[in-house]
Amino acid sequence: MEYIYLLLLLGGVIALCIFINRVTDKLKVPSLLLFIGLGMLFGVLLRPQIGNFTDYGLGNVVCSICLVFVIFYGGFGTNFKEARPVAGRALLLSFAGTAVTAGIVGVGVYYIFRLLPFFEGGIGWIESMLIGSVISSTDAASVFNILRSRRLNLKYRTSSLLEMESGSNDPTSYMLTVVFVALLAAKYGIEGSSAMGAGEIAAMLFSQVGFGALFGVALGFIAIFILKKFSFNMGQGGTIFVVAVALVTYSLPSILPGVLAGNGYLAVYICGIMIGNARIPQKRDCVRFFDALTNVAQMLIFFLLGLLATPEWLIRPEVLLPALLIFLFMTVIARPAAVTALLAPFRAKPNQIGVVSWAGLRGVASIVFAIYAVSTLGENALPYDLFSIVFCIVIISISLQGSLLPLISKKMHMLGDNDNVLRTFTDYQDESDVSFVKVVVGENHPWAGKRLKQCVMPREFLVVLILRGEETIVPNGETVVNAGDLLVTAAPEFENRDSFGMFEEYIGKSHAWAGKTVRELELPRGTLIAMIKRGGGTVIPYGATRVEEEDVLVCIKIPPKEGAEPVQEHGET
């Protein structure tokens, strides 16, 4: 019956985390920090029953699985069209920047430990470089959480740069960690270990990056093909399939032997980018599902890491002091030096370099890599408490860097003003019965040139905002609507959703509807094409609208009344 109590604890923790997440929206500290604190609190309360929770193997498994979904959805939510201009810089930061940061931090760690009285004679170079490698990557979960929860729209596509860097730099940090763990295992004479030569290290790095990227691209193409060409005879089948794809993409390159092994995190991130930027059916369902799933995953990750930590161990001078000094050295010297060296040749502006340097948050990836090192080498093999030191660095990074990132961005004049205006309205739309819709007024629009009070619209409609070039207008009845205006309108939300169904119809090359106008289509009785998703935009169709290849038709289907003749449904082709 122990599993019943485990499920009860798990359900209670998730419910409590969701409540806390709601409350932290009004606070100025990252919600992830509170989840860590909650885990530490539970660890203290449960100590009389279970003692200190130090199952690093379980923590590694759970955190790794949760991190798969966080990184996949980070790629899924990356707008590659926006990120493409900065993709080269992001990849340079994620690979060369991570390695340079690890090297500089490793040198700093070596001399920091020589100055501390707790470690007579300091520590070796390999032990120093291990710490640098473990904390060298910016954490995807932390960066995504801060940028998106605080809605930081940074200039010069810096948000895309940071998201792509943090989503793709874990492989470099992980590979460096593996190399130095192997070197230490050979140094300490751990059974089954052997020294790695330069050729073996180079081959491992090449295979991890090369095959990781190859599997990500290949499985992304396969998943997109299946999602477009096949229908699933079950509710939310496409979403469930995408979950399976994420798990397979991470696992497959990780389990292959020898030189064929690739990095699963890199593969799943690339696969996420490909699926997220493809036009696939039921994408909105995927977005809603992964929004919820990744939120829960991040809660569990940080709660479990807090549970693994022992508070009195963290405040020991031999843990807290080196963690603070390493954090300061990394934040003030190592990260800015690496970012400046790599972005300056691209003529990046000083304020952008400053924000990118400050946004190098450490998080769950660093702790997971520390858990891997401890579980491989043994808890007492290293001359320092690696897990506790890295944990303290992460706490300081999230609390200080994460909390101050919005302020730093504002002070450096990096906050952009080109956010989608409907994003703000959506916050209220999700919580109330009002919907906000944009209306683009073209040259031939019946409202063009008229005052608002002359425009024919339902009484329930209200034009709340007019965007005219760079000008934003709060209108009244006398405001004249010009051609080219974008109107934001408010209307009561439709609530009777259960009385009809919606489905998407993808128009492939051989589809019977390709090339026909809407009025020529033989639609099933009770079916209406509500809109057409074409390219990156949306078309509201009428009879003369021609259906083109690659279109996605969003159709409304009214089910027949009881006793009426059945209507044959037209499935996806």
Q: How far is CA 494 from CA 141, 169, 460, 497, 500, in A?
A: 35, 44, 12, 7, 12
Identify the pLDDT of residue 202.
73
Contact 223, 242 (CB under 8 A): yes
Tokens of residue 212, six digits: 């990781």
pLDDT(218) > 60: yes
pLDDT at 528: 84
Please give the pLDDT value at position 237.
79
What is the mean predicted confidence (pLDDT) over 260-277?
85
Q: What is the pLDDT of residue 572?
A: 38
Decide: 39 and 303 in contact? Cβ < 8 Å.
yes
Token representation of residue 276 = 């997220």
In this prediction, residues 399-408 reach a mean pLDDT of 84
Most confident of 125-134, 261-270, 480-489: 125-134
134: confidence class by pLDDT, cuts 50, 70, 90: very high
Residues in the chain: 573
b/e 345-375 (16+ beta carbons within 10 angstroms → b): eeebeebbbbbbbbbbbbbbbbbbbbbbbbb
List of long-range contacts for 409-412, beta carbons under 8 Å, 24+ apart:
409/152, 409/154, 409/355, 412/351, 412/354, 412/355
Give counts: helices (H), strands (E), the chain: 22, 8
Tell me the CATH class for 499-557.
alpha beta
Backbone angles phi, psi at 564, to 5 degrees: -80, 165
CA distance 280 to 275: 8
- pLDDT value, residue 58: 73
Average of pLDDT values for 459-475?
A: 81
Distance CA 347, CA 483 (A): 39
Q: What pLDDT, in 10s, does the model give residues 10-25?
A: 777 777 777 766 666 5
- Say what angle helices 198-229 and 264-276 make with each other, to 10 degrees: 30
CB atoms within 10 A of CB 573: 16
**CATH assignment of 2-198+283-411, among 1.20.1250.20, 1.20.1530.20, 3.40.50.10300, 3.40.190.10:** 1.20.1530.20
Provide the residue type at 371 as one letter: I
pLDDT (tens digit per residue) in 52-73:
666 667 777 777 888 888 888 8
CB 163 within 8 A of CB 354: no
Tell me how far apart the alpha carbons of residues 82 and 545 are, in angstroms, rounded to a whole number.
29
**Is the predicted pLDDT of residue 420 greater than 50, yes or no?**
no
Query: Taking 90 as the threshold, does the pLDDT of residue 133 lie above it?
Result: yes
**pLDDT category of residue 428 using cuts at 50, 70 and 90:** very low
Average pLDDT over residues 100-104: 94
- Rounded to whole angstroms, the Cα distance separating 436 from 439 reads 10
- What residue spans in the chain does CATH classification 3.30.70.1450 cover? 421-492, 499-557
Sign of CA dihedral 66, 26, 139, 77: positive
| Domain 421-492 falls under CATH 3.30.70.20 | no
Segment 146-163, tens digit of pLDDT: 776 666 677 777 877 887
Query: For residue 413, what pLDDT is reported?
Result: 85
Read off the pLDDT band of 495 (50, 70, 90): low
For the chain, the average pLDDT equals 79
Query: What is the pLDDT, as a whole number, of residue 404?
Result: 85
Rounded to 10 degrees, what is the CA torsion of 399, 400, 406, 409?
Answer: -150
Q: In the chain, which segments carry CATH 1.20.1530.20?
A: 2-198+283-411
| Residues 6+ away with beta carbon under 8 Å from 363 | 32, 139, 140, 141, 142, 143, 394, 397, 398
Mean pLDDT of 258-275: 82
Report which of residues 151 and 120 the model is more confident about: 120
Q: 3-state class of 556 per DSSP?
A: strand
User: What average pLDDT does this structure show over 135-147?
Assistant: 76
Contacts of 125 (CB under 8 A, 6+ apart): 106, 110
Instruction: Specify the range with the lowest mean pLDDT, choosing from 2-6, 296-300, 319-323.
Output: 2-6
The pLDDT assigned to 248 comes to 93
At residue 343, the pLDDT reads: 92
Is-contact 262 215, C-beta < 8 A?
yes
pLDDT in tens, 518-553: 888 888 777 888 888 887 667 888 888 899 888 888
Q: Smallest Cα–Cα separation from 391: which of 329, 302, 476?
A: 302
Write out the DSSP string of 164-207. HHHHHSHHHHHHHHHHHHHHHHHHHT-TT--PPPHHHHHHHHHH
Answer yes or no: are the C-beta atoms of 247 and 159 closer than 8 Å.
no
Which tokens sit at 153? 């729209």
Mean pLDDT is lowest, of 1-5, 87-91, 470-474, for 1-5
Percent of the chain with pLDDT over 90: 15
More confident residue, 367 or 460: 367
In this prediction, residue 499 has a pLDDT band, given cuts at 50, 70 and 90, of low
Proportion of the chain in helix, strand, coil states, percent, rounded to 5 = 60, 10, 30
CA distances from 514 to 111, 518, 547 (A): 68, 10, 6
Long-range Cβ contact pairs of 252-258 (< 8 A, separation 24 or more): 252/215, 252/219, 253/211, 253/212, 253/215, 256/211, 258/207
pTM: 0.68
- The total of other beta-carbon atoms located within 10 Å of residue 513's CB is 22
